[in-house]
Chains A and B, each alone.
Chain A
Amino acid sequence: MTERLKEQLQRLGDEAPELRLPSDAWAQGRRARHRDHLLTGLLLVVVVALAGTLLRVTPASRMAAEMVAPRTEPADGVPDRLRPGSDLAVAPNLAVGVTSVVYVDQERRVVAVAADRGSYRLLPLPRGLTSPHGGAVALDRSGTMLAYTWMRENDSGGPEVLTGFDVADLTTGRLQRYRLNGRAGIDVTDLVWSPQGRWLAWRGLQASRLSSDGVGVQGRFGREAIGRLDLTTGGIVQERLPAVAARGITVDEDGVVWVFGSRATASRTLPGWARRPASPPAPENLQESAPASPNGRVLLLGEGGAAASPAMVVAGLPGPEYADLNPQFSAGSRASARTVGWIDDSHALVQVTGYGDREGDYTPVESLSLAIVDIRATSGDTRQVTHIDDPESVRHLEVATDLMTLDRPTVSRPGPWSFAGTLLVAGLSALVLALAVALVVRRRRLPRP
């Protein structure tokens, strides 16, 4: 019976109104084809870009990349902009590779910036006990050796608190631990590398008693002590300082530890006094310890200040020459300068801190930057090379100056990838994947040619 239905349908078809045949079907099809190719290419590019980004930011991949043997290729460098972040991944060990910058953040965590990629990693340093004077961290000029102080409870009898410092090889992760004995211990406040990294000098306060509440250390402190480690032998010497108001120390490549204060500059070749040159009184407000120039003959000391551009003093080693510099920094109404390292014998890298107006006991830090100062010019020609975002979050800054040259002091680097940033990239990846799947599903609905 359905034969009649077939006949009727055939008749319906035969008598159907004439349809207008499209004249531009070919052109439309070609345009759609070009769009297909373009879309496929774009998707490929986006997928490759996202995959690359993910590989770059995935902690595991960064870890793998940074576990590779150390290298100092031309690509290594100090970032032109430092972006401290709070949400950083912790490195699995101390073998993080050549490091361009190390800084201590507000929470006293130590952050390493990789020289090759500019990635930011928290260093897994033993937390230990909080030092009454804050402790110290020092990166050598090659960016491969890191020294940091520690304090920890003593579980095996004897003093309640043990003090000392570690020296870590950041290329291998190998750690050398040095315990400091000085009555109840020494709270090290300054660590300084010699120009070529053979010597590490420290300054600290001798404690007559140290006790711990499980988090921090309280103590009674007496005279200052200085010491010096010979990295080639592991030998340590230390001695008490006479009652001088020492402001800082430095160490030259002969292992001579220099102590400078507000009233005089003295030198000591440990152990024992070697010479005590007659030197004019050093200016007031000298800031912290500072590394000596590569030839170990010059020291640049910054003055903490009430002026917009802090004065600086070039001191000859072994003195007694002094020269005043008046570098011009753009750092607000008040600024201080601290020598971080040296590019060569004539150019120092200086950390410039600009302060805001005092608010009670608190003085806000308004700006933080790194500048190169030419010590041959009395005007102290300066050039800002690195800007630090969020200056309040950086307590202390160390730079591998071997990675800097006058021609190429810094390199451009991306900011740290926070957890939120990684999530964003992952989300974008998921979105692109969903779009790709939707596109494929839509196309599969149409029959295959």
Chain B
Amino acid sequence: MVLTREVATTTAERSFDEFVAARGRALGRTAYLLTGDHHLAEDLLQTALMQTARHWERIHGSPEAYARRILYHQNISWWRRKRWQESPLLDHDSPAPAADPDLRVTLEEALRRLTVRQRTILVLRYFEDLTEAQTAAELGISLGAVKSMTRQALGRLRTLAPELAELIGSSDSA
């Protein structure tokens, strides 16, 4: 009986290790975009993988989908706890520093100044390429909330980095 359990544990651990080796880097990219910070991203990835291991036997579908959901929710949960540390909104609404010739850096900077919810919505919609309905399902919020938060996030990006207008498009096209 004990032996059977040990064998099962070894098999599960091996399959988990294979999953981490195969999908860890992709998950890490999402974690980085969600947090915008290298160290925070590592912490977030660690938490998501630990939770995935914790429920490994109970995950019936794709472990990657589960790990991603952990990433999204855990990031927002951290933000809730550390909300008091966030700077006032007005500070963020001022334009980004002088136009950077490197568009990537400007976008990265602007993303960092969004709220966690807004950043998460943009990452899900435009990096993970989920539909509005899929995003709503992933985050457990309504379709209307996804639409309005996407609109707000894009509008804020325009305010924070006017030079990204071409990248983001007009509010109508968003």
Listed stretches A24-32, A313-321, A355-363; interface member: A24-32
The minimal Cβ–Cβ distance linking A442 to chain B, given in whole angstroms, is: 10
A427 to B20, CA, bound (A): 46
Is there a chain B Cβ closer than 8 Å to A6's Cβ? yes
In the complex the two chains form, is A13's CB within 8 Å of B32's CB?
yes
The minimal Cβ–Cβ distance linking B168 to chain A, given in whole angstroms, is: 6
Is there a chain A Cβ closer than 8 Å to B123's Cβ? yes
* B103 / chain A contacts, CB cutoff of 8 Å: 8
Residue in chain B with minimal CB distance to A28: B50
Listed stretches A14-22, A176-184, A191-199, A396-404; interface member: A14-22
* A447 / chain B contacts, CB cutoff of 8 Å: 66, 69-70, 73, 140
In the complex where A19-B42, A26-B16, A32-B50 touch, is A2 in contact with B73 (Cβ < 8 A)?
A: no
In the complex where A1-B168, A29-B52 touch, is A10 in contact with B127 (Cβ < 8 A)?
A: yes
Is there a chain B Cβ closer than 8 Å to A408's Cβ? no
Residue in chain B with minimal CB distance to A26: B53
The minimal Cβ–Cβ distance linking A2 to chain B, given in whole angstroms, is: 6
Question: Which residue from B13, B38, B140 sits with its C-beta under 8 Å from A19?
Answer: B38
Question: Which residue from A2, A4, A19, A32 sits with its C-beta under 8 Å from B41?
Answer: A19
In the complex the two chains form, is B126's CB within 8 Å of A9's CB?
yes
Is there a chain A Cβ closer than 8 Å to B24's Cβ? yes
Q: How many A-B residue pairs have CB under 8 A?
A: 125
Is there a chain B Cβ closer than 8 Å to A445's Cβ? yes
In the complex the two chains form, is A17's CB within 8 Å of B38's CB?
yes
A5 to B158, CA, bound (A): 12
A262 to B59, CA, bound (A): 90
* A284 / chain B contacts, CB cutoff of 8 Å: none
Q: Which B residues are closer than 8 A to A by beta carbons?
A: 9, 13, 16-17, 20, 24-25, 28-33, 38, 41-42, 45-46, 49-56, 58-60, 66, 69-70, 73-74, 77, 103-104, 107-108, 111, 122-123, 126-127, 129, 140, 154, 166-170, 173-174
Could you show 27 A-B contacts with beta carbons less than 8 Å apart? A2-B154, A2-B168, A2-B169, A4-B166, A10-B127, A12-B127, A13-B30, A13-B127, A16-B41, A19-B41, A20-B42, A21-B24, A21-B25, A22-B49, A22-B50, A26-B53, A28-B53, A28-B54, A29-B50, A29-B51, A29-B53, A30-B53, A30-B54, A445-B73, A445-B77, A449-B58, A449-B66
Q: Which A residues are closer than 8 A to B by beta carbons?
A: 1-2, 4-6, 8-22, 25-26, 28-30, 32-33, 36, 445-447, 449
